[in-house]
Amino acid sequence: MIDRPLKLGTRASPLALAQAHLVRSALLVAHGWDETRVEIVPMTASGDRILDRPLAEVGGKALWTKELDRALMDGSVDFAVHSMKDVETIRPAELSIVAMLPRADVRDRLIGAANIADLPQGARIGTSSPRRAAQLQRLRPDLQIVLFRGNVATRLAKLEAGEADATLLAAAGLDRLNMPDIGTPINPTEMLPAPAQGAIGIECLSDNAPIRDLLAAINHADTFACVMAERAFLAGLRADCHSPVAAQARIENGTLVLRGEILTENGSEHQAAEGTDPAALAAELLGRASSALRAIFG
């Protein structure tokens, strides 16, 4: 039994803090603790400071995790909360994702038009996501992509200021920020989500058995299985921040089924399929792809 308050590390953005409070609340309920047992420790991630360049140009997804990783390794925090879609596929061996909360809405929401078909000819779409850019241009090659980085409020302000005609945001993030009525959800059959979208993960030191045991009480097994399958698919592709890739796993009658999609940057080529083995699905899509599409992956 750990007889001191536990320290939960998180990014300091409004969405990250909202997610940290969800994790804290789940732990308090699961263990019957009072509010003093878990202390939230916010820290500013490099990815929240660098907003004028695409993530892939300045360090990739590690910009969301390195400050939290350092805090875990030096003992400043006992565990850390992540948006799983922002966690790089290969993690340090000293750290382990050990629990996930039940997954929220996996869809994207379109803000600025009722649907993709209704966007004006040549409309400017604000996004920093290679996946969203490729999927949109596959559906509408006339669309122009404008770099949008920053938290939800920053992106909405840029849209309001006329820097783009529309943007896409994750439904889960908007819901967690109490913005359920903003934007129109896009069916995953039209735009397959990012791997791990909508999932909150909790990470700790791999060899910290007492913390692992405490976190196991809030792990949602189906979410964990699906998200880890999506991450295994990314690993099989050797995908990085430059790679337009989408994936969504689901449990059907006790069997995990994974749908994956890979695209060229402008969406001119895409390959999609379903399977039960993430590595085999990745190999199948790469095997079908042209040399230009394969070159985007490792």
The active-site residue, picked from 86, 105, 108, 240, is 86
Length, in residues, of the chain? 298
* Per-residue pLDDT reduced to its tens digit, 245-257: 999 999 999 999 9
Cα→Cα distances 131→9, 41, 76, 136, 266, Å: 28, 32, 35, 8, 10
- Give CA–CA dist 65/208, Å, rounded: 19
Question: Quick check: 23 pLDDT over 80?
Answer: yes
86 is catalytic: yes
CA R_g for the chain: 19
Say if residue 78 is in the same domain as residue 211.
yes
Does position 60 have pLDDT exceeding 50, yes or no? no
Q: What is the mean pLDDT of residues 91-117?
A: 97
Q: What share of the chain is helix, strand, coil (3-state, %, to 5)?
A: 35, 25, 40
Residue-level pLDDT at 250:
97
Asked, for residue 1, whether it belongs to a domain, the answer is no
Q: Let me know: does 63 contact 149? Beta carbons within 8 Å.
A: no
Residue 169: CATH number of its domain:
3.40.190.10
Same domain, 82 and 13: yes
Asked if residue 17 belongs to a domain, the reply is yes
Over 80: is that where the pLDDT of 41 sits? Answer: yes
Lowest pLDDT segment from 45-54, 59-68, 263-272: 45-54
6-11, strands of its sheet edge to edge: 38-43, 6-11, 79-83, 200-205, 95-100
| Domain hosting residue 175, numbered range | 108-185
**Which carries the bigger pLDDT value, residue 284 or residue 54?**
284
HEC profile of 137-153 = HHHCCCCEEECCCCCHH
- State the total domains in the chain: 3
Q: Are residues 247 and 158 in the same domain?
A: no
Written as six digits, the tokens of 294 are 């394969």
* Same domain membership, residue 77 and residue 55: yes
Let me know whether 53 and 131 are in one domain. Answer: no
Domain assignment of residue 172, yes or no: yes
Does residue 133 belong to any structural domain of this protein?
A: yes
* Residues 156, 203 share a domain: no
Residues β-bridged to residue 111: 167
> What are the phi and psi torsion angles at 133 (to 5°)?
-60, -45
If pLDDT is split at 50, 70 and 90, which confidence band does 150 have? confident
pLDDT of residue 79: 98
* Percent of all residues in the chain with a pLDDT value above 90, rounded to a whole number: 87
Terminal alpha carbon distance of the chain: 44
Please indicate, yes or no, if residue 280 is contained in any of the structural domains.
yes
Q: Are 259 and 212 within one domain?
A: no
Pair (77, 213) in one structural domain: yes
Distance from C-alpha of 170 to C-alpha of 175, rounded to nearest angstrom: 9
pTM of structure? 0.92
Tally the C-alpha atoms within 13 A of residue 272's C-alpha that lie toward its C-beta: 18
Comparing 57-71, 106-120, 165-179, which segment has the lowest mean pLDDT? 57-71
